Chain A
Amino acid sequence: MTTIRILVACCLVAVVSACSDAGGGEGNDQPELAEGATFTTSINADPGNLHPLTTVSAITNSVVTFAYDSLILVDPEGEIRPYLAEDWEVTGARVTFTLREGITCEDGTELTADAVAANFEWIADPENASPRYGSGLENYTVDSDDVSRTVTITLEKPFGFLLENAGSMLIVCPGGLADPKSLSQETDGTGPFALSDYVADDHVTMTAREGYAWGPDGASTAEPGFPAEVVIRVVRDPSTAVNLFLAGELNDIGASGPDEARLEGQGFDVTEFPGGPAEMWFNQREGLPTADPDVRRAITMALDLDALTPVLTEQAGERAHDLTTILPDPCRTDSIEGTLPEFDPEGAGELLDSAGWTTGSDGVRTKDGQPLSLTASYASGEPALDAGLELVTQLLEDVGVEVELKGEGQNAFLATLFEEDPPWELAFLSAAISYPSGLVVFASGPLPPQGQNFAAIDNPDYERLADEAQGTPGQEGCELWAQAEGALFERADIVPIAITLAKIYTRGASYDYGLGATSIRMYR
């Protein structure tokens, strides 16, 4: 089975690299590899505390993945590649990983199965307050055997993405695990690089580790063209980062929208990445107009999502077809087909009429003396989102719904979202969820502050289907998840709108982002 997997993986690698080459401009025709070079990249905020198991920041994650490995790698196509684990076995509520031999930590000691298991025990300890614990990976026991080099995790409840989730967790070496404070500014992992310099708000330097040979599919740092160093610079302003890239001081840059124009047609390699979908959520607490599914459907029907898409994505995106679009995105489905109400302003008007909302003289609908006046909450500051919401306001006004925009800073918005008695009826956000199971806590269950169901969604169909899907791994599970999402769309509990396709440009190097840092090659 392993051999077949590897074969399949290789073919997929070929497909993927062919795809990414085709996606870009005129790529370099295999220029000369450079030895001992430095790969420079950028992040747009300070990574802060670098402990991989307590951080919630995607930025920090992008930094620490250079220094830590996980048991398996989920590639961009959703396939599982061997990494620290050379083999694995999944049965519903249990997964067993077999560790490769010869893995060493930064201090030279070999990584044992016990050491790996200790990581899972660590995150289970509430004192450590690790966000890795939960969302399916919870209530388990861990066993390990150094002789057979196996680590077994047994859950109480089956969890469809157990392999992907547990296997993607970064593994910390025993020294760092025992002293969490030391990991805030240093690393102690098994990864291809080790942190050698960290200047706050300025840069992080990682140095390649000799002898590393247990990357995904056995990738090693001894490959020709492998960088000797990786420098991650902190550059807050995206345009400044583009400036740096154009000046040759960065090897890669992620750009979307207007900045793309500066990078197009200059011969840089391009890889496309989908972002999280922009979505509209409704406050369904009792007594609010949006608690009525017909009102929600009508509002959805009033919005021309095809027109909103170029506005929200600055002409660099497409319609979202489901709610989970971030890679690895194991389930790529079209859940809106046949479930999400389609654009039909007249139909929206009729639906609102039948729900008792009649149009007044000023054009705004009323029912029992209450005007249909909704507050739309969102994180302001992005011109595209501001513009999209202005368009939403206009479209809804056309069917007699009055909208008041309430934009706030990112943090204030999140705080508003999770208030116990929120002041909004509509919320626009982008939830970056990579597994459909990650949606469950938001689309069902207790409301804040006890839980995370901030929109007070109560959809029994969704809960039933999600429950079933939780225990079903693989593509079967994906089918069930698609149906579960469809249940949400039918009642217009959540409306997915558009996803932005971000592009990453590279120069002087090649980096297969889906395969991790071991894929970096430097050119002259």
Chain B
Amino acid sequence: MATTKDGLVSALRTPTGAISTLMVAALIVLAVVAPYIWADEAARVDIPGLLEGSSSDHPLGTDNLGRDLFARLLVATRLSLTLAVLAVAVGACVGVPLGALPTVLGRRGGRAIASFIDFSLAFPSILLVIFLGVVLGVGAHAAVLAIGLSAAPSFARLTQTLAASVASSDYVAAAKVLGVPRWRILARHVLPNVAEPIILNVTLAVGFALLAMSGLSFIGLGVQAPSYDWGRLLNEALGRIYVHPETALGPAAAVVIAGLAFNSLGEALAAAASTRPAAVPRRLLREQKTPHPASVSSAVGADAAPGPALVVEDLTVSFPSRFGVITPVRGISFALSKGELLGVVGESASGKSLTALALAQLVPYPGRVSATRLEIDGHDLRTMPTTARKRLLGTSLAMVFQDPGTSLNPALRVGRQIAEVGEVHGGLGRRAAMRQAVERLRGVRMSSPARRARQYPHELSGGMRQRAMIAMGLMAEPKVVVADEPTSALDVTVQQQILQLLRKVRDDTGASAILISHDIAVVAQFCDRVLVMYAGRIVEDVEAGALHTGPAHPYTRALLASIPDMSTDRTQPLATIAGRPPDASAIPDGCAFAPRCDFATDRCREDRPDLAAVDSTWQRVACWYPRTGPVAAQNTPELVGQ
């Protein structure tokens, strides 16, 4: 999440952000400056010329004392904005503490306050405003109080919701356990974290306060003579609106423009602070060129086992961004045989997850996928007509995502989500699809499958949810199962069960599987073959068995060496690989691993090695100086150091 400063800056970059900031700034300047320039004009009485329409002298006409309405409109900016800001200040000062109370008061009191906030939020605010206006007397002071108090409930509700989510977080729970008094928790932990969204809402609220003031004046309870704001000007003009509409148009436009400016600014700030992706500059969208196909080794083709389940050649994923075009996946090529268990391993930002998404054609907009070959079960995805391609992807490829908790729709029953695959792609009726779904659930060793099918995802444990995801994928007899970190969110025992399950699927149906993980130990244990990815490229393609005897790439070796096992010397610090993978927007020329490689030479830094076969064993590596021999154990000179 962006920091406030970043948020502000990025907000200003969007067109709406820039325009609304300018408008708000202009309004503030006008509010300060206008009375000095136009006050005399606005006060000049001209009785013979009263109640006139627009003319060359008076673009917006004159009022009941013949005063120029345009000048009055400009001068009124100060009072209108001041009152709106004051009203919001009142609302925030009353509402925020009120909304923070439940976190301090505990269950009983908190609930009472919460109900009170609910009720006052729902009570028609206009009645409250009128009522307060009558009690407090008419005029600006009363109007500010009235509007402020009627705005307080929404601030209270916002604060309450935010504070509740902060209060339920772990560090607050820890503070409570440590005996920190409630009010200090409020001041130290809760309030600073809710400050930012509240400030954003203040901006929005100013817009609405302006509207509310004008409505109040319409009823006659707003600003009184001799003061005047836009609302009072609007009220006076409405009696003449059919005769001289321009007299009402001026103040109405002022209210609308100011309200719009504040609202837009508030929304731009809010959008910048949220985690939604920033809009991509259009220019870059257009410019996004298809990257050059890199020269490809003949790794794929005759060497692959007959009738491969998946053939990928020069797969590339690129994104236009503020910094130019980023290519997180650069020219991946591999083949997947039928029934093969392929592991893909790498650090975060190696591009492994995007590769999986690219295979399933699920790369988020505005990313672009390109490849010279992309075939599932012999069908070329690039040249198929849309309907057929959709059908192929929906049936032959099954995706299992990392977090089963968020990957299942919480509003639908588990069985429904699974069965619909059969309805849509399998041509099954409702009942038949549901029966099949239950069958699949049984197939993934789900206990009480029929009952589970009728439950919602939140009623299942993490492991059960992942099984359900797998069952979902199995509905249409897939040829390839792509599992992206399927066990990272689960505990170790469940991990093993899921991996066993994947193997069972392969054994039962002959489907191939791609297991993506950052954990080379898991991959080495379960897969037939392993691809190692670094900085968007495959750096090694080796049989799992060969991992123990001799991975060729220094990176692979370092990964293996860093796995602690029962014999690791516990007196030494854990081995890590020095440095960090390069950022996707700043990948160096030459071998991307060179900066971190102990064996790198100048050639490595200048000239990037392609993926090429090593010796005669079925192994490919992208390195000028491939290593041989088994990997040294931990704590060797090879690896020590920061």
Asked whether any CB of A lies within 8 Å of a CB of B in the complex, the reply is: yes
CB pair A387–B65 under 8 Å, yes or no, is yes
CB pair B47–A389 under 8 Å, yes or no, is no
- Distance in angstroms from B632 CB to nearest chain A CB is 91
The docked-state distance in angstroms from the alpha carbon of A242 to that of B235 is 18
CB pair A387–B64 under 8 Å, yes or no, is yes
CB pair B51–A314 under 8 Å, yes or no, is yes
Contact with B along A404-422 (1 / 0, CB 8 A): 0101110010000000000
The docked-state distance in angstroms from the alpha carbon of A79 to that of B243 is 39
CB pair A409–B134 under 8 Å, yes or no, is yes
A363 within 8 A of B: no
CB pair A258–B65 under 8 Å, yes or no, is no
Which parts of A230-272 form the interface with B (CB within 8 Å)? 238-239, 242-243, 257-259, 261-262
Contact of B225 among A243, A258, A314, A386 (CB under 8 A): A386
- Distance in angstroms from B141 CB to nearest chain A CB is 13
B221 within 8 A of A: yes
Interface size class of B (residues with CB under 8 A): 20 to 34
Contact of A239 with B47 at beta-carbon distance under 8 Å, contacts A311-B65, A383-B64, A407-B224 already known:
no
Contact of A407 among B64, B65, B134, B138 (CB under 8 A): B138
A-B pairs under 8 A by CB, number: 76
- Which of these binds chain B: A25-33, A90-98, A347-355, A390-398? A390-398
Contact of A258 with B137 at beta-carbon distance under 8 Å, contacts A390-B225, A390-B226 already known:
no
- Distance in angstroms from A252 CB to nearest chain B CB is 18
Interface size class of A (residues with CB under 8 A): 20 to 34
Contact of B138 among A259, A388, A389, A408 (CB under 8 A): A408
Contact with A along B227-264 (1 / 0, CB 8 A): 00000000110111111100000000000000000000
- Inside 8 A of A388's CB, which chain B residues have their CB? 64
CB pair A262–B45 under 8 Å, yes or no, is no
Contact of A393 with B242 at beta-carbon distance under 8 Å, contacts A380-B138, A383-B64 already known:
no
Q: Closest chain B residue to A261 by CB distance?
A: B243
A15 within 8 A of B: no
- Inside 8 A of B242's CB, which chain A residues have their CB? 239, 242-243, 259, 262
- Distance in angstroms from B277 CB to nearest chain A CB is 50
CB pair B224–A262 under 8 Å, yes or no, is no
- Distance in angstroms from B134 CB to nearest chain A CB is 7
The docked-state distance in angstroms from the alpha carbon of A502 to that of B347 is 87
- Inside 8 A of A393's CB, which chain B residues have their CB? 226
- Inside 8 A of B51's CB, which chain A residues have their CB? 257-258, 314-315
- Inside 8 A of A383's CB, which chain B residues have their CB? 63-64, 235-236, 239
CB pair A262–B243 under 8 Å, yes or no, is yes
Q: Closest chain B residue to A258 by CB distance?
A: B240
A10 within 8 A of B: no
Contact with A along B195-227 (1 / 0, CB 8 A): 000000000000000000000000011001110
The docked-state distance in angstroms from the alpha carbon of A383 to that of B241 is 13
B93 within 8 A of A: no
CB pair B239–A387 under 8 Å, yes or no, is no
B612 within 8 A of A: no
Contact of A387 among B63, B137, B235, B238 (CB under 8 A): B63
Which parts of B331-379 form the interface with A (CB within 8 Å)? none
B8 within 8 A of A: no
B50 within 8 A of A: yes
Contact of A409 among B50, B220, B238 (CB under 8 A): B220
Q: Closest chain A residue to B235 by CB distance?
A: A383
A307 within 8 A of B: yes
- Distance in angstroms from A100 CB to nearest chain B CB is 46
CB pair B134–A314 under 8 Å, yes or no, is no
Which of B63, B64, B226 lies at the interface centre, i.e. has the most chain A CB atoms within 10 A of its CB?
Answer: B64
- Inside 8 A of A386's CB, which chain B residues have their CB? 64, 224-225, 236
CB pair A390–B134 under 8 Å, yes or no, is no
Contact with A along B388-404 (1 / 0, CB 8 A): 00000000000000000
A384 within 8 A of B: yes
The docked-state distance in angstroms from the alpha carbon of A514 to that of B10 is 73
CB pair B221–A409 under 8 Å, yes or no, is yes
A381 within 8 A of B: yes
Contact of A311 with B220 at beta-carbon distance under 8 Å, contacts A239-B241, A407-B138 already known:
no
The docked-state distance in angstroms from the alpha carbon of A314 to that of B239 is 12
The docked-state distance in angstroms from the alpha carbon of A384 to that of B47 is 12
Contact with A along B479-493 (1 / 0, CB 8 A): 000000000000000
- Distance in angstroms from B402 CB to nearest chain A CB is 63
- Inside 8 A of A239's CB, which chain B residues have their CB? 238-239, 241-242
The docked-state distance in angstroms from the alpha carbon of A391 to that of B225 is 11
Q: Closest chain B residue to A316 by CB distance?
A: B51
CB pair A407–B241 under 8 Å, yes or no, is no
Which of A238, A243, A383 lies at the interface centre, i.e. has the most chain B CB atoms within 10 A of its CB?
Answer: A383
Q: Closest chain A residue to B64 by CB distance?
A: A387
Q: Closest chain A residue to B217 by CB distance?
A: A381
- Inside 8 A of A310's CB, which chain B residues have their CB? 47, 50
CB pair B65–A390 under 8 Å, yes or no, is yes
CB pair A380–B220 under 8 Å, yes or no, is yes
- Distance in angstroms from A519 CB to nearest chain B CB is 30
Contact of B45 among A394, A408, A409 (CB under 8 A): A394
CB pair A408–B137 under 8 Å, yes or no, is yes
The docked-state distance in angstroms from the alpha carbon of A15 to that of B635 is 124
- Distance in angstroms from A387 CB to nearest chain B CB is 3
The docked-state distance in angstroms from the alpha carbon of A90 to that of B293 is 118
Q: Closest chain A residue to B138 by CB distance?
A: A408
Contact of A311 with B47 at beta-carbon distance under 8 Å, contacts A239-B239, A242-B242, A383-B239 already known:
yes
Q: Closest chain A residue to B241 by CB distance?
A: A239
- Distance in angstroms from A102 CB to nearest chain B CB is 49
Which of B65, B134, B138 lies at the interface centre, i.e. has the most chain A CB atoms within 10 A of its CB?
Answer: B65
Which of B50, B138, B225 lies at the interface centre, i.e. has the most chain A CB atoms within 10 A of its CB?
Answer: B225
CB pair B138–A311 under 8 Å, yes or no, is no
CB pair A381–B220 under 8 Å, yes or no, is yes
- Distance in angstroms from A242 CB to nearest chain B CB is 7
Q: Pick 30 A–B contacts, CB within 8 A, sort by A.
A: A238-B239, A239-B241, A239-B242, A243-B242, A257-B239, A258-B239, A258-B244, A259-B239, A262-B242, A307-B47, A311-B64, A311-B65, A314-B51, A380-B220, A380-B224, A383-B235, A383-B236, A383-B239, A384-B64, A386-B64, A386-B224, A387-B50, A389-B225, A390-B226, A391-B65, A393-B226, A407-B224, A407-B225, A408-B138, A409-B220
B-side residues, CB < 8 A to A, are 45, 47, 50-51, 63-65, 134, 137-138, 220-221, 224-226, 235-236, 238-244
Q: A391-B45, A405-B224 are in contact. List 10 more A-B contacts (CB 8 A).
A: A239-B242, A257-B51, A259-B243, A310-B50, A315-B50, A383-B63, A387-B65, A387-B225, A390-B225, A409-B134
A-B pairs, top 9 by smallest CB distance, nearest first, are A387-B64, A381-B220, A258-B240, A383-B236, A386-B225, A261-B243, A387-B65, A407-B224, A390-B226
